[in-house]
Amino acid sequence: MLKKDFPIFTKHPDLIYLDSAATTLKPQSVIDAINDYYINYSSNSHRGIYDLAEKTTEKVEEVRIKIADFLGSKIEEVAFTPGATTGLNILYYGYLKNVPKNSRVVVLESEHNSNLLPLMKWCKEFSLKLEIVKLKNSVEEIEENLIAFLDNQTVLLALNFDSNVMPLNLNFERIIQVARGLNIKVFLDACQTLAHKQIDVKKLKIDALAFSAHKLYGPTGIGAIYINENLISLLDPLIVGGGIVEDVQESEVKYYTGIKKFEAGTLNMAGIFGFGACIDYLLKIGYKSIVKQEKSLAKKLILEFEKLEFIETYPKFLKENSLFAFNVKGVHPHDAAMILNEDNVCIRASQHCTHLLHERLKINASLRVSFGVYSTKKDIDCLIDSLKKVNKYFNSIDG
């Protein structure tokens, strides 16, 4: 049982943590790696020429190699960021700044605000047309509608690889093939994907991708972006400062031309040490084991939900997935979450940063269960018992 790897369960033995889509818990190996930086290195990277600084730089670059191998990319295509939100802003600013005015950018209305809001901002800033594609009743219809929006005026297709609310399971191989046939760049937000399945950016022919370590059992405040080597020179850096210039004169600044032009300022070295450790942890468990466990948990949760007439799910017919959005009929999600909290059951209650999606679903908010490698069938039993309590408290005559 993997809970033993996570010290938070020693401090909180009754914790039922079912909010891994928001942030994952951290295994001891990741915590140790962060502490290792502060105890044994504690110096800036890519700056000093003394031993400690050079060792820190070596370690940072080792992690960059690890991330490149993890994504199936080249080392020269990976940059560290403070997280996916910053990474997506870097990508969209850098690329959209230089495309023709009135070009089209296509996105789905199910997108997380970290993907959607930067697109809104930079499309407005650079006089581009943002096309927000509406959801349909089936995945097949969504795919057809999305593809129908792509044309010769479209310069970018920007999507979450996986929704943080409901399973879409889009056929990205087909979608990307159509986009590439029209010379459309494809940028993906992989935050909700890489803890559950691996992505090979070269096989999929993705142009750029962003993700955060804290969704992968790593530390907060650190992420990475992948940018295809043929695209790097076309992107201007959003954030400028120390560490990304070859020369500075009063009349001219000469920036690096490679991937490191996106790494202005001091990197989060402790976070990077933890980043490397969380990838090691994921690969040690193995995606085959992760998928097997998640399928088992999903089957149990779906079976239990089907027994409860007071549960409303989104979508109505559930598929095996690592997360599920639902509501207790007649109960506001915040009220339900407060009752669950009394039983130490932690789930998300909000719009999950997907306002447009919740508007499409015609609900103010929803509850969300999301699994991690430490999730168990006992956790689901506790959740179901607490939901029954919620329903009895709010909906029963003698509640």
Enumerate the active-site residues. 353
DSSP state of 170: -
DSSP tally for the chain: helices H, then strands E? 14, 15
Strands 245-248, 345-346: pairing is unpaired
The span from the CA of 383 to the CA of 392, in Å, is 14
Instruction: Using alpha carbons, list the distances in angstroms from residue 212 to 114, 205, 216, 314.
Output: 12, 21, 7, 26
Which distant-in-sequence residues (6+ apart) come within 8 Å of 46 by Cβ? 57, 60, 243, 267
- How many C-beta neighbours within 10 Å does residue 38 have? 11
DSSP state of 192: T
For the chain, the farthest-separated pair of C-alpha atoms sits apart, in whole angstroms, at: 77
210 three-class SS: strand
Which distant-in-sequence residues (6+ apart) come within 8 Å of 217 by Cβ? 24, 25, 26, 27, 30, 195, 278, 281, 282, 372, 373
- For the chain, the first-to-last Cα distance in angstroms comes to 37
Q: Tell me if 107 sits within 8 A of 116, measured CB to CB.
A: yes
* Tokens, residue 235: 């992107």
Of 294, 72, 84, residue with least CA distance to 198: 72
The span from the CA of 21 to the CA of 258, in Å, is 33
Q: Tell me if 332 sits within 8 A of 312, measured CB to CB.
A: no
Instruction: Please tell me the number of Cα atoms within 13 Å of 19 on its side-chain side.
Output: 17
Instruction: Please tell me the number of Cα atoms within 13 Å of 120 on its side-chain side.
Output: 11
Give strand pairing partners of 326.
313, 367
